[in-house]
Amino acid sequence: KAGVTQTPRYLIKTRGQQVTLSCSPISGHRSVSWYQQTPGQGLQFLFEYFSETQRNKGNFPGRFSGRQFSNSRSEMNVSTLELGDSALYLCASSLRTAITEAFFGQGTRLTVV
Note the residues at the interface with another protein (CB under 8 A). 31, 33, 35, 42-45, 48, 50, 55-56, 58, 88, 90, 92, 94, 96, 99-107, 109
Say if CB 31 and CB 93 are below 8 A apart.
Answer: yes
CA distances from 15 to 19, 40, 50, 108, 113 (A): 11, 20, 31, 17, 6
User: Considering beta carbons, is residue 48 or 85 the nearer one to another protein?
Assistant: 48
User: Considering beta carbons, is residue 16 or 61 the nearer one to another protein?
Assistant: 61
Residue type, 69: F
Give the integer Cα–Cα distance in Å for 23 and 16: 23
User: Considering beta carbons, is residue 20 or 88 the nearer one to another protein?
Assistant: 88
As measured in angstroms, the least distance from the Cβ of 107 to another protein is 5
User: Considering beta carbons, is residue 90 or 112 the nearer one to another protein?
Assistant: 90
Closest CA to 34 of 110, 98, 99, 97: 110
As measured in angstroms, the least distance from the Cβ of 45 to another protein is 5
